[in-house]
Chain A
Amino acid sequence: MTITTTHYLVLAAIVFCIGLAGVSIRKNALVMFMSIELMLNAANLTFVAYSQALDDIAGQVVVFFILVVAAGEVAVGLALMVAIFRRKNKTSPDEISNMAEIVRIDDSEVTNVS
Chain B
Amino acid sequence: MSPNILEYSYLIPAVPFVSAIFLLLFGKRLKPIVAGVIGTVAMGSTFIMWIISFCALQNIEGEEVRRMTSQGYTWMQIGNFSVDFRFMVDPLSIVMVGFITLVATLIHVYSIGYMKGDPRFSRFFAYLNLFAASMLILVLGENLLVTFLGWEGVGLCSYLLISFWFEKKSAATAGKKAFVANRVGDVGFLLAMFLIIATPSLGSLSYTHIQDRVSAVPTISATAIVLLLFVGAMGKSAQFPLHIWLPDAMEGPTPVSALIHAATMVTAGVFLLVRISPLIGTASPEASSIIAIVGLITALYAAICALAQNDIKRVLAYSTISQLGFTFLAIGVGAYSGAIFHVVTHAFFKALLFLGSGSVIHAMHPVAHEKHFDEQDMRNMGGLKKHLPITHATFLVGWLAIAGIFPFAGFWSKDEILGATFLRGGILGYGLWVLGMFAALLTAFYMTRQVQMVFYSKPRFGETENLPHESPKTMTIPLIILSAFGALIGLINVPLKSREELTKFIDPAIHGSKHAEIATFVKINGLSLAGISLALAIIGILIGIKVYRSRPVDSDDEPLKALGPVVPLSLNAFYVNTGVANLVAGIGTKFANTLAFFVDNKVIDGASSNMAKGIEDSGRILRKIQSGFVRRYVLYMSGGTLLILLLALWGNAQ
B616 to chain A, nearest CB (A): 12
A101 in the interface, Cβ–Cβ < 8 Å?
Answer: yes
A111 in the interface, Cβ–Cβ < 8 Å?
Answer: no
A73 in the interface, Cβ–Cβ < 8 Å?
Answer: no
Q: Cβ of A93 and Cβ of B623 under 8 Å apart?
A: no
Kindly state the separation between the CA atoms of A97 and B626 in the bound complex, as whole angstroms: 10
A102 in the interface, Cβ–Cβ < 8 Å?
Answer: yes
Interface mask (A79-114 → B, CB under 8 Å = 1, otherwise 0): 000000000000001100111111110000000000
Kindly state the separation between the CA atoms of A102 and B638 in the bound complex, as whole angstroms: 23
Stretch at the interface among A6-14, A17-25, A45-53, A60-68: A17-25
Q: Cβ of B628 and Cβ of A102 under 8 Å apart?
A: yes
Q: Enumerate chain A residues within 8 angstroms of B634, measured Cβ to Cβ.
A: 20, 23-24
Report which of A20, A94, A103, A104 forms a contact with B630, defined as CB distance below 8 A: A94
Kindly state the separation between the CA atoms of A32 and B631 in the bound complex, as whole angstroms: 9
B624 in the interface, Cβ–Cβ < 8 Å?
Answer: yes
Interface mask (B609-647 → A, CB under 8 Å = 1, otherwise 0): 000000000000001111111110011001000000000
Kindly state the separation between the CA atoms of A93 and B631 in the bound complex, as whole angstroms: 8
Closest B residue, CB atoms, query A93? B630
Q: Cβ of B628 and Cβ of A99 under 8 Å apart?
A: yes
Kindly state the separation between the CA atoms of A94 and B630 in the bound complex, as whole angstroms: 6
Majority secondary structure, B binding face: helix
Q: Cβ of B631 and Cβ of A94 under 8 Å apart?
A: yes
Q: Cβ of A94 and Cβ of B623 under 8 Å apart?
A: no
Q: Cβ of B631 and Cβ of A23 under 8 Å apart?
A: yes
Q: Enumerate chain A residues within 8 angstroms of B630, measured Cβ to Cβ.
A: 32, 93-94
Report which of A23, A32, A98, A102 forms a contact with B627, defined as CB distance below 8 A: A102
Q: Enumerate chain B residues within 8 angstroms of A99, measured Cβ to Cβ.
A: 626, 628
Kindly state the separation between the CA atoms of A103 and B627 in the bound complex, as whole angstroms: 9
Interface residue tally for chain B (C-beta within 8 Å)? 12
Kindly state the separation between the CA atoms of A103 and B623 in the bound complex, as whole angstroms: 13
Kindly state the separation between the CA atoms of A46 and B29 in the bound complex, as whole angstroms: 82
For window 179-221 of chain B, which residues contact chain A by CB distance below 8 Å? Answer: none
Kindly state the separation between the CA atoms of A83 and B628 in the bound complex, as whole angstroms: 19
B17 to chain A, nearest CB (A): 55
Closest A residue, CB atoms, query B634? A23
Kindly state the separation between the CA atoms of A101 and B638 in the bound complex, as whole angstroms: 22
Kindly state the separation between the CA atoms of A70 and B628 in the bound complex, as whole angstroms: 24
Q: Enumerate chain B residues within 8 angstroms of A94, measured Cβ to Cβ.
A: 628-631
Report which of B623, B624, B628, B638 forms a contact with A97, defined as CB distance below 8 A: B628
For window 485-535 of chain B, which residues contact chain A by CB distance below 8 Å? Answer: none
Q: Cβ of A100 and Cβ of B631 under 8 Å apart?
A: no
The residue among A24, A97, A98, A103 with the most chain B CB atoms within 10 A of its own CB is A24
Q: Cβ of B624 and Cβ of A101 under 8 Å apart?
A: yes
Kindly state the separation between the CA atoms of A52 and B623 in the bound complex, as whole angstroms: 45
Kindly state the separation between the CA atoms of A78 and B449 in the bound complex, as whole angstroms: 100
Kindly state the separation between the CA atoms of A84 and B519 in the bound complex, as whole angstroms: 96
Q: Cβ of A101 and Cβ of B626 under 8 Å apart?
A: yes
B416 to chain A, nearest CB (A): 82
Kindly state the separation between the CA atoms of A97 and B629 in the bound complex, as whole angstroms: 7
For window 13-45 of chain A, which residues contact chain B by CB distance below 8 Å? Answer: 20, 23-25, 32
Q: Enumerate chain B residues within 8 angstroms of A101, measured Cβ to Cβ.
A: 623-628
B310 to chain A, nearest CB (A): 73
B635 to chain A, nearest CB (A): 6
Q: Cβ of B631 and Cβ of A24 under 8 Å apart?
A: yes
Kindly state the separation between the CA atoms of A94 and B627 in the bound complex, as whole angstroms: 10
Closest A residue, CB atoms, query B630? A93
Closest A residue, CB atoms, query B641? A20
Closest B residue, CB atoms, query A94? B629
Q: Cβ of A25 and Cβ of B631 under 8 Å apart?
A: yes
The residue among B626, B629, B630 with the most chain A CB atoms within 10 A of its own CB is B630
B481 to chain A, nearest CB (A): 79
Kindly state the separation between the CA atoms of A93 and B627 in the bound complex, as whole angstroms: 12
B545 to chain A, nearest CB (A): 90
Q: Cβ of A100 and Cβ of B638 under 8 Å apart?
A: no
Interface mask (B454-479 → A, CB under 8 Å = 1, otherwise 0): 00000000000000000000000000
Q: Enumerate chain B residues within 8 angstroms of A23, measured Cβ to Cβ.
A: 631, 634
A44 to chain B, nearest CB (A): 17
Kindly state the separation between the CA atoms of A98 and B629 in the bound complex, as whole angstroms: 11
Kindly state the separation between the CA atoms of A104 and B627 in the bound complex, as whole angstroms: 10
Given the contacts A101-B623, A101-B624, A20 and B638 also touching, CB distance less than 8 Å? yes
A100 to chain B, nearest CB (A): 3
Q: Cβ of A100 and Cβ of B635 under 8 Å apart?
A: no
Q: Enumerate chain A residues within 8 angstroms of B623, measured Cβ to Cβ.
A: 101
The residue among B626, B628, B629, B635 with the most chain A CB atoms within 10 A of its own CB is B628
Q: Enumerate chain B residues within 8 angstroms of A98, measured Cβ to Cβ.
A: 628
Kindly state the separation between the CA atoms of A20 and B629 in the bound complex, as whole angstroms: 15
Q: Enumerate chain A residues within 8 angstroms of B635, measured Cβ to Cβ.
A: 24
Kindly state the separation between the CA atoms of A101 and B623 in the bound complex, as whole angstroms: 6
Closest B residue, CB atoms, query A92? B630
Q: Enumerate chain A residues within 8 angstroms of B627, measured Cβ to Cβ.
A: 97, 100-102
- Other A-B contacts than A20-B634, A93-B631, A94-B631, 17 sampled, CB-CB below 8 A, are A20-B638, A24-B631, A24-B634, A24-B638, A25-B631, A32-B630, A93-B630, A94-B629, A94-B630, A97-B628, A99-B628, A100-B628, A101-B626, A101-B627, A102-B627, A102-B628, A103-B628
Pairs of residues from A and B, 10 with the lowest C-beta to C-beta distance, nearest first: A97-B628, A100-B628, A93-B630, A101-B626, A101-B623, A23-B634, A24-B631, A24-B634, A94-B629, A20-B638
